[in-house]
Amino acid sequence: MQNFISVNDVDDVNMLVEKAMMYKANPFMHRNLGANKRIGLLFLNPSLRTRLSTRIAANNLGMEAVVFNIDKEGWAIEFEEGAVMNGTTVEHIKDAAPTLGMYFDILCIRSFPSLKNREEDYAETVINQFIKYAGVPIVSLESATLHPLQSLTDLMTVKETFAEKRKPKIVLTWAPHVKALPQCVANSFAQWINAWGEADFVITHPAGYELDPSFTNGGTILTSQEQALKEADFVYVKNWSSYTDYGNVSGDDASWMLTNKKMAATNNAKVMHCLPVRRNVELSDEILDGVNSLVTKQAGNRVWAAQAVLSEILKPM
Ligand code: CP
Per-residue model confidence as pLDDT tens digits over 147-174: 999 999 999 999 999 999 999 999 999 9
Q: Measured from the CB, is residue 274 less than 6 Å from ligand 1?
A: yes
pTM: 0.97
Bridge partners, residue 107, by sequence: 40, 138
Show the DSSP H helices in 61-165 as ranges. Answer: 70-73, 93-103, 118-122, 125-134, 148-161
Q: What is the pLDDT of residue 317?
A: 86
Kindly state if the Cβ of 47 falls inside 6 Å of ligand 1: yes
Q: Which atom of ligand 1 is the closest one to the Cα of 142?
A: 3
The residue whose CA has the least distance to atom 4 of ligand 1 is: 49
State the Cα–Cα distance between residues 179 and 40, nearest whole angstrom. Answer: 30
Measured by CA distance, the residue closest to atom 7 of ligand 1 is 48
Q: How far is the CA of 81 from the centre of ligand 1 (A)?
A: 30
Q: pLDDT (tens digit, 9 = 90+) per residue, 122-142?
A: 999 999 999 999 999 999 999
Q: Residues 130, 138: contact at Cβ < 8 Å?
A: yes
According to DSSP, the β-strands at 169-174 and 200-204 are parallel
Reported as a single tens digit per residue, the pLDDT across 189-229 is 999 999 999 999 999 999 999 999 999 999 999 999 999 99
Nearest CA among 191, 216, 214 for reference residue 205: 216
Confidence class for position 289, pLDDT limits 50, 70, 90: very high
What digits encode the pLDDT tens for the residues 218-247? 999 999 999 999 999 999 999 999 999 999
Query: What distance in Å separates the CA atoms of residue 32 and residue 59, rounded to the nearest whole number?
Result: 10
Q: Which of 49, 150, 278, 282 to mutate to test the pocket of ligand 1 (most atoms within 8 A of CB)?
A: 49
Number of CB atoms found within 10 A of residue 264's CB:
9
275 lines ligand 1 (CB under 6 A): yes
**What's the rounded Cα separation, in Å, for the pair 49 and 46?**
10
Rounded CA separation 89/74 (Å): 11
Is the Cβ atom of 143 under 6 angstroms away from ligand 1? no
Is the pLDDT score of 252 beyond 80?
Answer: no
Give the pLDDT of residue 182. Answer: 97
Ligand 1 atom nearest to CA at 50? 8
- List Cα–Cα distances, 24 to 183, 232, 262, 266, in angstroms: 29, 27, 33, 29
Mean pLDDT (the chain) is 97
